[in-house]
Structure 1
């Protein structure tokens, strides 16, 4: 039985390939278009893409051109080729700014970039492109039912950028005074992250890194700067505890405060 099933499968594949090759050689754009739609509906996106690409030139300037362009973008999405899909969606937005798929196309431009957004440790060009595209979507379609989803994805993307800054701030802190005052760099990175991503989910971590860094600067300062920097540390302690009175670093922060007060009193 298995032998007959294997033979049947091979025959089916051969017939399918033969049919596809025949369609490719055809000069009938209508046949190619209909078969492309058929392949698309069967999720055979590679064959669909090839055929849609071939008929795109024939239908350029006609009503069907809009459909073909939309199918091409969706076919590349089906292949998980998000970069190419985004290019086709952008072409659609530019060519058919009032087209019947315009809301979907604008959303998908951002979503393609979102799917291409890598780990926070890597280059975040795609993340920035996704944020820009989603913000454009909100500007053009503020009443769309996709708005809640777009806002959710924007929060996720912003948090990724914030996390990248958190990793950088921690790196500077861990470097300490190696080849320069890296504590100051940690403070600057963390403060900028709080300004640029005010609603990020790492606010407490940034605030505590600022406190730690200012404390270490004070501890390792020359005598003529110690008092001033410990006072700055005390101010930073209250910034941290006012926002996070039950913060997870509260015990460590209290120790920093106690040591800073002793130094200032002495």
Structure 2
């Protein structure tokens, strides 16, 4: 019996091709592949083997994101760039953006609070034990980048809020106070939209893209000391990291069955 013929796949729609082109150009913009001007529509069409109409659709997507500006007889130029924030090293924002400009902090709150029970459990606090709450709006130069809500264990937090929070990362202060290095952190990253208050605080449109980073940080001995909820502007921050495939995943298609969606 002859095998069943393999059905032909549907042709790729122009919108799909435009999205593919936009994804590559977006990465190139973030990687500083273009000094200012992007190649012409004709050059891009030849590079990606698509029509100029597809290129125009791709550039329209990037323009809507605010990444590029377009004008007749002037061409297409980069409007703004994002800053890389690593996911494979435990660094504060000041350390992460070293070389890009001055990171400064507007301290909006620094006080002892009775934390929510879920926070107390993450920090291994006793029932009724207080934590230290710190809220900071963080700038790169005059650009607001993130709104950080931080809960600290009291013995370290009490010392942290007596130090210079306006110009230091909390991580650096914790290490100074504890006398040892931070060890590890658990983190979760998700995309959310900016509520009215966050949007106003971060000077961005309501409903705009935010990256919400939840991070529980421990000292080298494993003690949890810092739980943060960090709202980062999605239009100015790109998360990057280097990943290694675990050996058990490379053994074959049946290796491991614990993939999960959350």
TM-score by length of 2: 0.22
What's the TM-score, normalizing by structure 1?
0.21
Task: Indicate the structure with greater strand content.
Answer: 2
More helix by percentage? 1
